[in-house]
Copies of this chain bind each other. A is one copy, B any other.
Amino acid sequence: MEKLAVLGCGVVGSGVVELFEKNKQLIQKRCGKQLELAYILDLRDFPDKPYADKVVKDIQVILNDPEVSVVAECMGGVNPAFDFVKSCLEAGKSVSTSNKELVAAKGDILLKKAKEHDCNFFFEASVGGAIPIIRPLHKCLAANEFSAIAGILNGTTNFILNKMIKENMDFSSALALAQEKGYAEKDPTADIEGYDACRKICILSSLAFGKHVYPESVYTKGIREVELKDAKFCGQLGYSIKLIARVQKLDNGKILPAVLPMAVEEDNLLSQVNGVYNAIMVRGDGIGKAMFYGKGAGKFPTASAVLGDMIEQLQLEHTCISQTWQNIHDNSFIENFASFAAKYYFRTSSADVHQLTEIFGEIQEKTISTDEEETVFLTASPLNERELDKAVKTLAQNHIQVLAKYPVLES
């Protein structure tokens, strides 16, 4: 008999407890062990729940029980989660977490700690909720050199953009609806401004490229400024505006992670990912491209990922070497966002094809949508930040004002 413990009995933690109890027979069979969910750490009591008698208030109870081999951390936030997880690892107990903030801020330290104590720090649930992505990246695709990852990693913003694109709702109304449905928090900053997606692309980048990428090193722009009319015009040109978290490996060997709203071509499956679903496209030299799709959040989807980690941890006797990365505080392996280059969608004040062609060379869409004296077009060639600035200045000299611009996701 091995004992499990869950830290934090909020949405995800209670999901872990309930899904475990529901599928206990199946889970025991799949990991070949008799299991008992022995402790739930929470400051609250849950007198009406069947697991009321498992609730403890002191982490020491869990740390001091040698029969507890695997712990789920579902508290969220960096503190006190970091201290608790560190203590568990130091006691040789493997930890599975759903806490992306913790992994993005302290993953390198905790992975090192796990290795020192020959146990495991797993975090499948921290990116993409139910979607298997961490294990596929470092196991199934371990023979690949990765060249790029691009994903829809935040369901709240995807829901909002979807309502704008498909139902003509403006940003504020769509946000209000997301809050009403419980998809967005009262303070939606972390979602709307892209911070949540940023943490997740940090985790994927660290794993794929082997060095810790901190959120502070990643250019991050949210969706607050996305206007309904751009969602509509993009649609007319065959594109959807999506909040994309992406990283690419450049020819100079550096990586360029970023989070920003991008125009995604309708042929690209990512453009078809609707509502609160997430999806992640991975490119590697062996596979070409592969995509992973599923529910990016929610009680049972996230619990499924936490428990999947625990089931593997129960079968492992040592630290899993492929799921780790270096802690490097020198971030010279990260390219500055100034090097980011993409084709662009532009909405400008009225302009004619002749003027635009003079400024941009060829432009991709000969048919230019116009509305209220505005012009919408796509550039045929990629522009980096310097070229973009120059183009905006030249437009201004020609009395053409840039009203909106979005980079186009490479297909």
**Interface residues, chain A, with chain B CB atoms under 8 Å away:** 19-20, 22-23, 26-27, 29-32, 124, 130-132, 135-136, 138-145, 210, 269, 272, 284-295, 298, 300-301, 303-305, 307-308, 311-312, 315, 317-318, 320-322
8 Å CB contact of A315 from B124, B303, B321: B321
Min distance, Cβ A124 to any Cβ of chain B, angstroms: 6
Taking CB atoms, residues of chain B closer than 8 Å to A286 are 19, 23, 130, 300-301, 303-304, 307
Q: Known contacts A19-B143, A23-B143, A308-B142; decide if A294 and B301 are in contact (CB<8 Å).
A: no
Q: How far is the CB of A307 from chain B (nearest CB, A)?
A: 3
Cβ-defined contact, B290 with A143, below 8 A: no
B139 in contact with A312 (CB, 8 Å): yes
In the assembled complex, the Cα of A140 lies from the Cα of B136 at a distance in Å of: 9
A311-B143 in contact (CB<8A): yes
Cβ–Cβ contact B311 & A322, under 8 A: yes
Closest beta carbon of chain B to A302's beta carbon, Å: 9
Known: A132-B132, A290-B295, A317-B317. A285 touches B23 (CB 8 A): yes
Rounded to whole Å, the gap between the CB of A193 and the closest CB of chain B is 27
User: Are A30 and B322 touching (Cβ within 8 A)?
Assistant: yes
Please give 12 more A-B residue pairs, beta carbons under 8 A apart, in addition to A143-B308, A286-B301, A288-B295.
A30-B321, A130-B286, A135-B136, A139-B308, A142-B311, A143-B304, A143-B311, A284-B304, A287-B301, A288-B294, A290-B295, A312-B322
Pairs across A and B, CB under 8 Å, 22 listed: A19-B285, A20-B143, A23-B286, A30-B138, A31-B322, A130-B288, A131-B290, A135-B139, A139-B308, A139-B311, A140-B308, A269-B269, A269-B293, A285-B300, A286-B303, A286-B304, A287-B301, A291-B294, A292-B292, A312-B322, A315-B322, A317-B318
Contact across chains for A140 and B272 when beta carbons are under 8 A apart:
no
Q: Kindly list chain B residues whose C-beta atoms are within 8 Å of the C-beta of A138.
A: 30
Evaluate contact between B287 and A130: CB separation under 8 angstroms: yes
CA distance A20 to B142 in the complex (A): 11
| In the complex, chain B residues whose CB is within 8 Å of the CB of A300 | 285-288
B304 touches A315 (CB 8 A): no
The closest CB in chain B to the CB of A291 belongs to: B293
The chain B residue with its CB closest to the CB of A301 is B287
The answer to whether B287 touches A295, judged by C-beta atoms less than 8 angstroms apart, is yes
Which of A143, A288, A294, A315 has the most chain B CB within a 10 Å cutoff?
A143
Q: How far is the CB of A318 from chain B (nearest CB, A)?
A: 8
Smallest CB separation, A132 vs chain B (Å): 3
Nearest neighbor of A24 in chain B, beta-carbon distance = B143
B287 touches A304 (CB 8 A): yes
CA distance A132 to B317 in the complex (A): 24
Q: What residues on B are CB-neighbors of A292 within 8 Å?
A: 132, 290-293
**Closest beta carbon of chain B to A182's beta carbon, Å:** 16
Report chain B residues within 8 Å CB of A291.
291-294
